[in-house]
Chain A
Amino acid sequence: MAAVVVKDLAKKYKNVAALNGISFNVDPGEIFGLIGPNGAGKTTTLRIISTLLKPTSGTAIVSGLNVLEKPEEVRKIISYLPEEAGAYKNLSGREYIAFMAHFHTKNPQELKNLISSGVQLAGLGERIDSYIKEYSKGMKRRLLIARALMTSPKLAILDEPTSGLDINHAHYVRNIIQEYAKKGTTVLLSSHNMLEVEHICDRVALINRGEVIEMDAPKILMNKYNAKNLEDVFMEVTKNAR
């Protein structure tokens, strides 16, 4: 069974069409990237799969569960990291991890292990006990990634996971994503950094103006369009589409 099945997904905000019937599948354990420019519809797609938005038409199914019909069941197996996600500024990093962990288990020992795992994953050392308002952007993002992955969700939905991070923090985040994918977590991420996606995604879907314009493994796409990188692929594909 596919981890994610998206079929003919469309979304309109009043008079603005954000998605125009996109379709793709994500296999279990795969790192699947949605790439495209700002406003292409990546975030809207991820928000629909995360049960935050309802599509105007089409379906999105996560591990056999329709996000429209069983949103509460879907929320038990996914973990969503929004692009500009923040954390509760007046909590410490540890309190934040503990707050989030409480929703995933009520067993005291499991809870303790989960918090410990989240703290370790964040890799913030002693700063885990500082208030989040004292964190740098990179530290905050590491904490949020730890929150998203500590439960080993069936599906991790990561919107621009390394956006705005310096090279060290971005490297740390990418390694963690790959590590958890190896453990069995399916990762659906979005990025407009095509070079980065090229390195960590098993397959990618190129989105432009709310439509999937190309989809395959990065290397296959580069060969197909005789391009040096995904950026060139994207330019080539959109040139043909224009």
Chain B
Amino acid sequence: MLDDLRNIVIKEVREMMRDPRILLGMILVPLLMFPLMGLGMSAATTSIKESTEYISVGYVNLDAGNTSISLLVFVSQNKTIALTNITDIGTSIDKIITQPNCTQYKVIMIIPADFSYNISTGNSSNIELYASLSNFGISEGLPSTQVSSLINTFSQIVLYQTLNAACPGKNASAMLNPVIAHEQSIVKGHVVNYSPMSIANTMMMQSVMSPFVIMIVIIMAAQLVAMSVAMEKENKTLETLLTLPVSRMSILAGKLSGGIVVAGIACITYMIGFSYYMDTLSGFGSNSASSIPLADIGIKMTALGQVMLGITLFLSIIAAMAIAVLLAAFTEDVRSAQSLAGIIYIPVFIPAFILMFAPVESLSTGVQAIIYAIPFSYPVLAVKALYTADYALVTLGIIYQLVFSLVMVYLAARFINTEKILTAKITFKKKTEVKEL
């Protein structure tokens, strides 16, 4: 039995890994696509970074006071800013934009005539910033934002100076923020020095990424097994296989095991490509600053939790593959099998997407019942549950999944044991009358 199983698994892996549809579509394309996407993003990121590394600012200073001079000195101290006085080409924006050489400045800054006076008298004063847009990309928007940010910082400095001058001996910062709320969290009976939202955001990252990976693994495994069964039919090898001195259960187990092996390889290449892509993205608007090392606050998955997650994922894969075998048995070729196996997407994607954004407890009773009834929900549920050591839910889920998977495998084995594996197909023809051949 084991020899036969090994023989079938080796054949399955060879067949699938050498099939251009699988090799290209499920292994090479994800391996290349994500790094290429990453390179594209990297190029975009570099372009955006470069746009803020040298910002040419043309300014018109209509103010005669000292504050505007201080502002210009403050802005010019920033290494990325190159200030140029453009008063000679015009003193109003309407005039300036008619000059051809104004386009060399990424930002045009106009300081109004009463700037210093307004500030010294306790009034606010507007500085006009103009950025010329041509392709409407982020790289065109960032220089103006950076200059604006510098002006805001200058504004804060002025505010503190004013307060210090008005109230000598007082803490300006304390006067501006007399009441401060210090958010902390209680996790598993311990106070941790992180706000609830920052912990929730970090957990959100986990609950978004994990379902994504889980969905890919389950769908890939199901698609591969559906393709494998359909290839037997399409290549007219199934009849021969079914008349060999090997049990039908070995054939089914061999197909499922072969599917797991190739899906595992496909998933690894997928994740290599994807992690490269995510690494590239992390250099652009990273969230890493807000992410919290969960282990530091006592939220971590134990070795037992990891094993349980593995079991629940494995059972999901087995159930999905057994369903895929049953579906593929009704088709005549690979393309039809892939289409029909797409039915599995529904119970895999829907709970994963719902659980990405909403904890199961927050859902209505009806939706919860549906989520719990779908066996593919459990790996997603298990990720969060195991972080919080809620083993009871995962254990019950594993028991349910085990029963479901066994039933599906039993049905697939029963199906393979009948002639329906050869004769079953989905047709929409009208019934024909009895006739003799």
Which residues of A does B touch, CB under 8 Å?
13-18, 20, 39-41, 47, 50-54, 72, 75-76, 78-82, 84-91, 95, 99-100, 102-104, 106, 131, 144, 147, 209-210
Of B15, B244, B247, B423, which one neighbours A90 at CB under 8 angstroms?
B15
Decide if B435 touches A75 in the complex (CB within 8 Å): no
Residues of A within 8 A of B243 (CB): 50-52, 75, 78-80
Of B4, B236, B245, B432, which one neighbours A16 at CB under 8 angstroms?
B432
Which residues of B does A touch, CB under 8 Å?
3-4, 7, 10-11, 14-15, 18-19, 235-237, 239-240, 242-247, 418-419, 422-423, 431-437
Residues of B within 8 A of A209 (CB): 436-437
4 shortest interchain CB distances as A-B pairs: A90-B18, A86-B236, A86-B235, A80-B243
Residues of A within 8 A of B432 (CB): 14-16
The distance in angstroms between the C-alpha atoms of A112 and B280, with both chains bound, is 52
Decide if B419 touches A53 in the complex (CB within 8 Å): yes
User: Interface residues of B: mostly helix, strand, loop or mixed?
Assistant: loop
Residues of A within 8 A of B239 (CB): 47, 50, 52, 80, 82, 85
A75-B244, A88-B11 given; 6 more Cβ-contact pairs under 8 Å? A15-B434, A16-B432, A17-B436, A90-B19, A100-B244, A147-B240
The distance in angstroms between the C-alpha atoms of A91 and B3, with both chains bound, is 19
Residues of B within 8 A of A86 (CB): 235-237
Of B11, B236, B245, B246, which one neighbours A91 at CB under 8 angstroms?
B11
How far is the CB of B397 from the nearest CB of chain A, in Å?
A: 37
- Do A85 and B15 form a contact, CB below 8 Å, given A18-B437, A102-B4, A210-B437? no
Of A82, A88, A144, A209, most buried by chain B (CB within 10 Å of CB) is A88
How far is the CB of A49 from the nearest CB of chain B, in Å?
A: 10
How far is the CB of B27 from the nearest CB of chain A, in Å?
A: 14
The distance in angstroms between the C-alpha atoms of A99 and B232, with both chains bound, is 15
Decide if B435 touches A16 in the complex (CB within 8 Å): yes
How far is the CB of A117 from the nearest CB of chain B, in Å?
A: 17
User: Interface residues of A: mostly helix, strand, loop or mixed?
Assistant: loop
Decide if B433 touches A15 in the complex (CB within 8 Å): yes
Ordered by A's residue number, 12 sampled pairs between the chains whose C-beta atoms are within 8 Å are A13-B423, A14-B432, A80-B239, A80-B240, A81-B240, A82-B236, A86-B236, A87-B235, A88-B15, A100-B244, A103-B244, A131-B18
A106 to B, closest residue via Cβ? B3
The distance in angstroms between the C-alpha atoms of A53 and B247, with both chains bound, is 16
Decide if B14 touches A95 in the complex (CB within 8 Å): yes
Of A17, A40, A80, A90, which one neighbours B14 at CB under 8 angstroms?
A90
Residues of A within 8 A of B418 (CB): 54
Decide if B7 touches A102 in the complex (CB within 8 Å): yes
Residues of B within 8 A of A85 (CB): 236-237, 239-240
Residues of B within 8 A of A40 (CB): 437
Residues of A within 8 A of B235 (CB): 86-89
Residues of B within 8 A of A80 (CB): 239-240, 243
- Do A99 and B434 form a contact, CB below 8 Å, given A52-B242, A85-B236, A86-B237? no
The distance in angstroms between the C-alpha atoms of A72 and B247, with both chains bound, is 7
The distance in angstroms between the C-alpha atoms of A56 and B275, with both chains bound, is 57
The distance in angstroms between the C-alpha atoms of A84 and B239, with both chains bound, is 10
Of A15, A41, A99, A144, most buried by chain B (CB within 10 Å of CB) is A99
Residues of B within 8 A of A16 (CB): 432, 434-435, 437
How far is the CB of B249 from the nearest CB of chain A, in Å?
A: 11
Residues of A within 8 A of B422 (CB): 52-53
